[in-house]
Amino acid sequence: MTALDISLEEYHESFKRYVGNEKEPDESGKSLHQKKNGEKFYVRLNSHDIPLIKRDAVLVMITDID
């Protein structure tokens, strides 16, 4: 599962920009996401870049704040 799997489609581009930008380590953002049943809820996004040998990765933590 990726973070985009629970993100509303209209937020995909802004989410990709958020994750791709350089941020302070503890910077976070608020976003509206959607459950499988269609129910919408707000979450807090925290992301951290993880440099790896073959390619870089991003750890994204999503916390329900509703």
pLDDT digits (tens, 9 = 90+) for 46-65: 877 888 999 888 788 888 99
Q: What gap in Å lies between CA 1 and CA 11, rounded to an integer?
A: 17
* Residue 19 three-state SS: helix
Rg of the Cα atoms in the chain: 12
Please give the pLDDT value at position 57.
81
Domain assignment of residue 21, given as a range: 3-64
Condensed to tens digits (0 to 9), the pLDDT of residues 2-23 reads 767 767 788 788 777 766 666 5
